[in-house]
Amino acid sequence: MGSTEKLPKMQYRFLGRSGLQVSVISLGGWVTYGGQVGDQLAFDCMKAAYEAGINFFDCAEGYAAGKSEIVMGQAIKKFNWKRNDIVISTKIYWGSAYGDNPVNNGGLSRKHLIEGTNAALDRLQLDYVDLLYCHRPDRNTPIEETVRAMNYLINTGKTFYWGTSEWNSEEIAMAWAVAQRLNLIGPVMEQPQYNLLCREKVEKEFSLLYENYGLGLTIFSPLKTGILTGKYNDGMPDDSRYATAKDAYSTSKAKSFGDEQWQKDIESTKKLKPIADKLGTDTATLAMAWVIKNPNVSSAITGASKVEQVAKSVKALDYLEKLTPELMKEIDDTLGNKPTPLTRRF
């Protein structure tokens, strides 16, 4: 990363209505760390990210069966980062996705949330995370049980904030209703998928939550697992994550290659190329810049399986101002997928 001086200055945003600031580009440990990517490469990517001003590192107990947390914890220790300078998250739900015993080792019961968080903190070698997510909704556990357990984890100093990932708007509103009835702390952030090809949830379904609850978003898959880079435009390359799929997740994803949605997405991606050309960049950078142009996005979580990808993500910041209202409209018109936000009067 001898070229960090050429990178645009990192921007920081408040996480929703909270007082916490996260870099608008962040680094996730999804699939990669502890999984496909070797430890040294993971360390290199984290170092590059930190030097580029990224302060938010996102993980989950379910990533690579806990190995992502181990690698991330080792990096924090190895680089001797000050705890107050970084924002670390993890997510609870899929503790045993790759384990032996699914009973009570997943979901959002009080037992798993507390046992799972303690195990995650052990792996991370940390006393606390900054953000703790419920990685999915759990319809088998009452939301009150989950809200109370997340508040227990805040009150015992294991996390500063809690939030959700891939919950729908009703579930988030129900969590807030429970929290408000019991005078407890509600979910501050949600982690949905968001990108040029997947806009309904963020732009329509959640539209009343931003004002009502001050919800912040830490979105994942800003490039829709790589499709928006355009690298699949001409078919699956040999070195893609899917081509070399070794884990259950990638294997299942690989199967979707070529299906109807995939083909539609490839078509959309191709249509974006002329717009990217006009900006003097590629579709990947256009797509990344477009995501963080949305002020409800507090941070876009990026992946990196090569050190260079970190810098590439950060360079999207250079294009934020170039995304003029006219250009944003051109993108909407080109893709034809702009959702109509909900309003308070119907």
> Which residues are within 8 A (CB) of 291 and not within 5 positions of it... i.e. 6 or more apart?
194, 195, 196, 219, 222, 297, 300
Distance separating alpha carbons of residues 219 and 198, to the nearest angstrom: 11
Q: How far apart are CA 68 and CA 61, in angstroms?
A: 8
Shorter beta-carbon distance to a copy of itself: residue 181 or 246: 181
Nearer to a copy of itself, 197 or 292 (CB): 292
Q: How far apart are CA 80 and CA 333, in angstroms?
A: 48
Give Cβ neighbours of residue 242 (< 8 Å, ≥ 6 apart). 236, 250, 253, 254, 257
Distances in Å between the Cα of 343 and the Cα atoms of 65, 187, 201, 217, 305 are 41, 22, 14, 19, 40
> Where on the chain is the footprint of a copy of itself (CB under 8 A)?
12, 14, 17-21, 23, 55, 83-85, 87, 95, 101, 103-105, 107-112, 114-116, 119, 130, 138, 140-142, 145-146, 148, 152, 154-157, 160-161, 182-183, 185, 214
CB of 53 to a copy of itself, least distance (A): 9
Least separation in angstroms between residue 40's CB and a copy of itself is: 26
Nearer CB in complex with a copy of itself: 197/301: 301
Task: Between 61 and 190, name the residue whose CB sits nearer to a copy of itself.
Answer: 61
For residue 253, the minimal CB distance to a copy of itself (Å) is 29
Tell me, rounded to whole angstroms, the distance of Cα 76 from its chain centroid. Answer: 19
- Nearer to a copy of itself by Cβ, of 152 and 257: the residue is 152
CB of 81 to a copy of itself, least distance (A): 10
Smallest gap from residue 240 Cβ to a copy of itself (A): 35
Residue 46 CA to residue 61 CA, distance in Å, equals 18
User: Nearest distance from residue 112's CB to a copy of itself, in Å?
Assistant: 7
CB–CB of 87/22 below 8 Å? yes
Task: List Cα–Cα distances, 173 to 100, 189, 266, in angstroms.
Answer: 34, 12, 35
Q: What is the helix, strand, coil percentage profile of the chain, to 5? A: 45, 15, 40
Q: Select 178 or 304, whichever has its Cβ closest to a copy of itself.
A: 178
Cα–Cα dist 267/197, whole Å: 11
Q: Is 249 a catalytic residue?
A: no
Dist CA 135 CA 158 (whole Å): 17
Under 8 Å CB-to-CB from 188, ≥6 apart: which residues?
A: 15, 16, 17, 18, 20, 131, 161, 162, 163, 214, 215, 216
Of 34 and 137, nearer to a copy of itself (C-beta) is 137
- Residue 58 three-state SS: strand
Judging by DSSP bridges, how do beta strands 297-302 and 12-14 pair with one another?
unpaired
Q: Least CB distance from residue 142 to a copy of itself, whole Å?
A: 6
Catalytic residue among 33, 50, 63, 194: 63
Token pair listed for 328: 């944003």
Catalytic residues: 63
